[in-house]
A and B are shown apart, each in its own frame.
Chain A
Amino acid sequence: MNWDPLILTFQLASITTLILLGVSIPLAAWLSASRSRVKPVVETLVSMPLVLPPTVLGFYFLLAFSPGNAFGQWLDQWLGLQLVFSFPGLVLASVIYSLPFMVHPIQSGLSALPASLKEAAYVMGVSRKKTLLRVLLPNIKPSLLTGIVLAFAHTVGEFGVVLMIGGSIPGRTRVASIAIYDEVEALNYGAANFYSAVLFVITFCILLLVYLVNGGYIKRFWK
């Protein structure tokens, strides 16, 4: 059996989740605290991937990153990045595509904390950054875990965006969901079943773990 598509899928999901964590925490912190007028616009943009067909997103990425366009040319010349039909392109597209799955849980976790927690830290002379990292985030661990897992699982499950911008280059952009589609097209049901079953079992286990942890079952077990 060829494990490459599965390995590529989990590589993509891991890298995407790490980047998302770094991007989403400041973004969610800003969204939960801000009363700025541009906030609704930012919230809308973050949530767009929830409602847009992935192919729409993929189509615009394809146009934007294409070396035939100004932005794609600029990326190529200045950063040496060719994002179309490449792994970095998949990562960038996945980050945007899974953004709401990471931002929303963190944002609602932060909004649910009493404001006095943050204010108490400020009055004690603690900076905003340290307050976020040392006071707020440790108190929304379930939200963080939910965000991490949803973003990861959503990236594992994406198809349309990947197909549009990545195509199906074995070892580079051919992730498991694409491989399944290709194998079915080729009437190769055994291989399709292999990829599908592995994805099924792994995602089941990951989600089960989240519900066990957030439901406090594991803590009770150790006690």
Chain B
Amino acid sequence: MISCQIDKRLRAAGGEMQFRMDLQVPRGQLLALYGASGAGKTSTLRMLAGLMAPDAGRIEVGGNVWFDSTSGINLRPQQRGLGFVFQDYALFPHLTVRQNLEFGAPKDQKAVVDELIDLVELGGLQHQRPGTLSGGQKQRVALARALVGRPSLLLLDEPLAALDLKIRLKLQDYLLRVHREYGLTTLLISHDLGEIHKLCDRVLVLEQGQVVREGTPSEVFQSDRISGKFKFTGEVLGIQPQEFLFLVTVQVQDQVVQVVALPSEVRALAVGDRVLVASKAFNPVLYKLD
């Protein structure tokens, strides 16, 4: 259980910004932070990890106080014992995959390292250096390394943003697996609605350092009114007028589908919009997101 109320003046691209976060995360939840860049998502994770100090407030995790401005408590990152996956992975370039994991492992924990290498299926690459690995492989090393200290809290800063779709889908499965298998509480920054829908129990939408919406992914992304049998998020690639209708080409994850739409539905759409493709009764219908 994480309970955190923190304030901080942040310097963002558009001048100063007041960051305020009042957050309760139950144990075992997979929570997404969503929002434009500069909204304070990464700062939230950094303050939880102890890499940045809030100006005021209190952070309590699993009954332990990590930060309390009134009593002057501020645990160092080393004392917090959480897992953090950085956007650039931050693998140690001079160490092999295995040494990367061992570096942070408590002493005599060879078994943990072996288990994690198996879990992310890196056995064949364990003696290579990160420089020779692909993006997806590096990401798996970073994930495994973050779990070496057996944390109960895992923070992921846009872990899959730099990867292509196919690998991203596979890594989402890895994330979900470690989240469940290790009973983690996970905070994930993501810009990918599909990813959030697939992985997360709850999502917070941040704007200008404030939480502006929160709820389950379907609630937050306004799809609660739909009683569809299936629904996917995708991106509009093209809109072609036909005789009476429009043919909208949508990319849903790694496939491209075409959906028939009425002129009234198409009016609000443009190429590049994110949409929800849902089947109501007959044809799939498109709903514009955000």
Q: Which of B13-21, B80-88, B213-221, B225-233 contacts A (4 or more CB under 8 A)?
A: B80-88
Given the contacts A116-B86, A119-B86, A125 and B149 also touching, CB distance less than 8 Å: yes
Would you call B49 an interface residue if the criterion is a C-beta within 8 Å of the partner chain's C-beta atoms?
yes
Select one of B77, B93, B145, B148 contacting A119, CB under 8 A. B77
Give the Cβ gap from B211 to chain A, nearest Cβ, in Å. Answer: 24
- Which stretch (A23-31, A45-53, A91-99, A131-139) binds chain B? A131-139
**What is the CB-to-nearest-CB distance from A90 to chain B, in angstroms, rounded to a whole number?**
37
Asked if A122 and B90 make an inter-chain contact with CB atoms under 8 angstroms apart, the answer reads: no
Which residues in window 25-80 of A have CB below 8 A to B? none
B86 touches A135 (CB 8 A): no
Closest to A118 in B: B90
Total interface residues in chain B, CB < 8 Å: 25
Asked if residues A134 and B51 are in contact (CB atoms below 8 Å), the reply is: no
Complex CA gap A42/B87 in Å reads 34
Could you tell me the distance between the alpha carbons of A114 and B78 in the complex, rounded to whole angstroms?
19
Cβ–Cβ < 8 Å partners of B80 in chain A: 123
Taking the complex as formed, is B170 at the interface, i.e. its CB lies under 8 A from any CB of chain A?
no
| Contact call A122/B88, Cβ cutoff below 8 A | no
From A117, A123, A126, A139, give the contact of B84 (CB < 8 A): A123
> Is B90 within 8 A of A119, CB to CB?
yes
Known interface pairs A114-B88, A116-B86, A123-B84; A138-B78 also in contact (CB < 8 Å): no
Contacts of B287 in A (CB 8 A): none
CA–CA, A123 to B155, complex, Å? 11
Confirm or deny: A120 has a beta carbon within 8 angstroms of a beta carbon on chain B: yes
Is B78's CB under 8 angstroms from A135's CB?
no
Task: Flag whether A1 is at the interface (Cβ < 8 A).
Answer: no
A137 to chain B, nearest CB (A): 10
Query: Within the complex, what minimum Cβ distance (angstroms) separates B258 from chain A?
Result: 42
Of chain A, the residue at the smallest CB distance from B142 is A120
Contact of B148 among A117, A124, A135 (CB under 8 A): A124
| CB of B61 to closest CB in A, whole Å | 14
Q: Smallest Cβ distance from A109 to chain B, in angstroms? A: 13
Contacts of B88 in A (CB 8 A): 114, 116
Closest Cβ of chain B: how far from A123's Cβ, in Å? 4
Complex-state Cα separation, A119 to B86, whole angstroms: 9
A128-B81 Cα distance, complex, nearest whole Å: 15
Q: Does B92 contact A (CB under 8 A)?
A: yes
The answer for the CA separation of A154 and B133 in the assembled complex, in Å, is 41
Residue B104, interface by CB 8 Å: yes
Kindly identify, within residues 84 to 117 of chain B, every residue whose CB is under 8 Å from any CB belonging to chain A. Answer: 84, 86-88, 90-94, 103-104
A119 contacts B92, C-beta separation under 8 Å: no
Q: CB within 8 A of A139: which of B49, B78, B94, B104?
A: B94
User: In B194-214, which residues have CB < 8 Å from any A CB?
Assistant: none
Interface string of A102-114 (1 = CB under 8 A from B): 0000000000001
Per-residue interface assignment for chain B, residues 137 to 168, with 1 indicating a CB less than 8 Å from any chain A CB and 0 otherwise = 00000000100110000000000000000000
Contact A134 to B103, CB < 8 A, known contacts A120-B90, A124-B145: yes
In the complex, whether A2 has a CB less than 8 A from a CB of chain B is no
* Chain B residues in 8 Å Cβ range of A134: 103
- Are B90 and A127 neighbours in the complex by a CB distance under 8 Å? no
* A124 x B92 contact (CB < 8 A): no
**A125 B78 Cβ-Cβ under 8 A:** yes
Closest A residue by C-beta to B51: A119
B11 at the interface (CB under 8 A from A): no
Contact B82 A123 (CB under 8 A): yes
A15 is an interface residue with CB less than 8 A from chain B: no
Evaluate contact between A127 and B78: CB separation under 8 angstroms. yes
Residue contact B103 to A124, C-beta cutoff 8 Å? yes
Q: Does A210 contact B (CB under 8 A)?
A: no
B39 vs chain A, min Cβ distance (A): 20
Residue of A nearest to B148 (CB): A124
A121 CA / B92 CA spacing, docked (Å): 9
Q: Is B76 an interface position by the 8 A CB rule?
A: yes
Nearest-neighbour CB distance to chain B for A60, whole angstroms, equals 41
Among B79, B86, B87, B145, max chain A CB count under 10 A is at: B86
* A to B CB contacts below 8 Å, 15 in the list: A116-B90, A119-B51, A119-B77, A119-B84, A121-B104, A122-B50, A123-B50, A123-B51, A123-B78, A124-B148, A125-B78, A125-B81, A135-B103, A138-B94, A139-B93
Kindly list the 10 A-B residue pairs having the minimum CB-CB distance in the complex, ordered from nearest.
A124-B104, A116-B90, A120-B90, A122-B77, A116-B86, A123-B84, A138-B94, A125-B78, A123-B77, A119-B51
